[in-house]
Amino acid sequence: MTNTSARFLIVGPQGSGKGTQGVRIAESFGIPVVSTGDIFRANIKEGTDLGKKVQAITAAGNLVSDELTGELVRDRLAQNDAQPGFLLDGYPRNRAQVAHLDEFLAGRGEELDAVIELDVPRAESIERLSLRAQEQGRADDTDEAIAHRLDIYERETAPILAVYGEKGIVDKIDGVGSLDEITARIMDALAARGFTPATA
């Protein structure tokens, strides 16, 4: 059985490589990556009303609210290129956002088809992020900041996997290995669910 839609979510701690893997999977299936970070930056760059709101919030060092984040994501998912499917990265990141997303998709007669969980040990995430900080000179990637972000992931985002796990749509993927090895594991898991890439 081949599924005609491809509505995916990729979840993993910082340093798990989900951004890189998300792009690879989306390109294979011919669907857009819907990343909250990218949406925020695009709206700020274009000077939209939503972008101005986001810029004011982030400039003050605050997190964008669930309501505003949801508004931005819904606006992006309503665009034509996201109709055949999409890969979400960075949203939903807590249970409240899961409820918002489920409600929005249900209103379109849709639901998520698969949730890809990249499983990476905490020590591995810290090592990767520390290395990235050295290579890119990122002052915000201190050991304390990295640990704080991983704490937030474990406290707020990891619990959404239980919600989707109850629906039987989570595929836990070993996120340690080469990029190609990890991509192959993801593609195998999706193929087992009946999803075949547009570009074989």
- The enclosing domain of 100 has a CATH number of 3.40.50.300
**Catalytic residue, candidates 53, 74, 122, 149:** 149
Span of 27-41, 61-75, 165-179 with lowest mean pLDDT: 61-75
Q: Report the alpha-carbon distance of residue 169 to residue 131 in Å, rounded.
A: 33
191 to each of 65, 104, 105, 139, 187, how far by Cα in Å?
35, 26, 23, 40, 6
Here the tokens at position 136 are: 């890119």
**Residue 2: pLDDT over 70:** no
Per-residue model confidence (pLDDT) at position 113: 96
Task: Report if residue 74 sits inside a domain.
Answer: no
Task: Report if residue 40 sits inside a domain.
Answer: no
When pLDDT is averaged across residues 171-197 and rounded to a whole number, the result is: 96
Q: How far apart are the first and last CA of the chain?
A: 16
User: Which listed residue (7, 18, 76, 185) is catalytic?
Assistant: 18
pLDDT digits (tens, 9 = 90+) for 6-17: 999 999 998 899
Residue 182 lies in a domain: yes
Q: Tell me: cis bond preceding 121? Omega within 30 of 0 counts.
A: no
Q: Could you tell me the two tokens for 125?
A: 């995430």
Contacts 24+ apart (CB under 8 A), 58-61: none
State the pLDDT at residue 140.
67
Residue of 53, 74, 132, 172 marked catalytic: 132
pTM, full prediction = 0.89
Amino acid at 103: E
Amino acid at 28: S
Is residue 77 included in any domain, yes or no?
Answer: no
- Annotated active-site residue 7? The verdict is no
- Torsion angles phi and psi, residue 41, rounded to 5: -65, -40
120 phi and psi angles, rounded to 5 deg: -130, 130
Rounded CA-CA distance 105/177 in Å is 34
- Residue 166, domain member (yes or no): yes
In a domain, 118, yes or no: yes
Q: Is residue 49 part of a domain?
A: no
pLDDT digits (tens, 9 = 90+) for 113-170: 999 999 999 999 989 888 888 888 767 677 888 888 899 899 999 999 999 999 999 9
**Torsions phi, psi for 89 (to 5 deg):** -135, 115
18 is known as an active-site residue: yes
The pairing of beta strand 33-35 with beta strand 85-89: parallel
pLDDT of 1 higher than 60? no
Q: Token pair for residue 15?
A: 């340093």
Q: Which residues contact 113 (CB under 8 A, 6 or more apart)?
A: 3, 5, 6, 7, 8, 85, 169, 193, 195
Q: Token pair of 97, please?
A: 């956002």
Alpha carbon dihedral 155, 15, 52, 72, in 10-degree steps, equals -70
Catalytic member of 7, 24, 93, 128: 93
The single residue of 45, 52, 108, 138 carrying the catalytic annotation is: 138
Domains in the chain, number = 1
Would residue 93 show up in a list of annotated catalytic residues for this protein?
yes
Q: Does residue 62 form part of some domain?
A: no
- Residue 31: its pLDDT value, please? 95
Residues above pLDDT 90, as percent of the chain? 60
- Which domain, by its residues, includes 97? 6-34+85-192
